Amino acid sequence: MNVLEMQNISKSFGSNHVLKDISISVDKGEVVSIIGPSGSGKSTLLRIATFLETLDSGSISYMGEYAARTGENGKAVYAKNLKPFRKDFGLVFQNFNLFPHYTVLKNVMDAPVSVLKRDKNEVREECMELLNKMGLGDKWDFYPCQLSGGQQQRASIVRALAMKPEILFFDEPTSALDPELTGEVLKVIKQLVEEKMTMVIVTHEMSFARAVSDRVVFMDKGVIVEQGRPEDVFGNTQSERTRQFLQNYNNN
């Protein structure tokens, strides 16, 4: 079953046509990496999937239910209540977005308790289990400023997982980290891959995308240029534009 289906997505900011009729679907348990040069529309696509930006036309559905689709006037119409859809996904940002005045535990417990209205003790137990699993069990009462960048990013992954989403989105999860801390976060994502977590990862880490993805999508100038299995996109590239982009990576 498709966890996410985005059809004919278009988005402009003024005269800048950022996404041009893009369609993408993600199956349960699938890991999709989106690669491409800066400014190709990758992050905008993620922001539209998570309702941080509105689309101009096209449709978005989660678990077979429409969150938005093009109406009679050719413009996208959103469901009156997006709250149920927000429970379907988690989003991990490149700059962590943790609340600085909350401890690590409060950061990860906040949404399940206040948004999902779940039992506090039950949530605490689950969150402590997740923090232990991510190597943060001894940091539960620390504040974000007391953590390294890699630890902050792991805490933000736990925060997303605490909502028990159907799909996790990562927007350049390692771009704010140095190489050593990058490895730390990629290891956690690999762990989620092994657990069959459905994920969409926007990344500049080519070797990582090649290693963990079921499918790689190459975007440029607001369109999907090429997509397929990692071994095909990286090893048997069909498009000249993809080949140019990957040249630096393949030469390393």
Bridge partners of 60, per DSSP, are: 6, 68
pLDDT of 162 above 60: yes
CB 47 within 8 A of CB 53: yes
pLDDT of 243 above 90: yes
The 10s digit of each residue's pLDDT in 165-183 is: 999 999 988 887 788 778 8
What's the pLDDT score for residue 23? 96
Supply φ then ψ for residue 78, to 5 degrees. Answer: -95, 150
Q: Using 50, 70 and 90 to split pLDDT, how confident is the model at 151?
A: very high
pLDDT of 250 above 80: no
Q: Using 50, 70 and 90 to split pLDDT, how confident is the model at 251?
A: low
pLDDT of 30 above 60: yes
The 10s digit of each residue's pLDDT in 78-110 is: 999 998 999 999 999 887 789 999 999 999 999
What's the pLDDT score for residue 110? 93
Q: Where are the beta strands (DSSP E) in 30-136?
A: 31-35, 57-62, 65-70, 76-78, 89-92
More confident residue, 138 or 116: 138
Mean pLDDT of the residues in the chain: 92
What's the pLDDT score for residue 165? 94
Q: Where are the beta strands (DSSP E) in 187-246?
A: 198-202, 215-220, 223-228
What's the pLDDT score for residue 167? 97
The pTM for the full model equals: 0.91
Bridge partners of 62, per DSSP, are: 4, 65
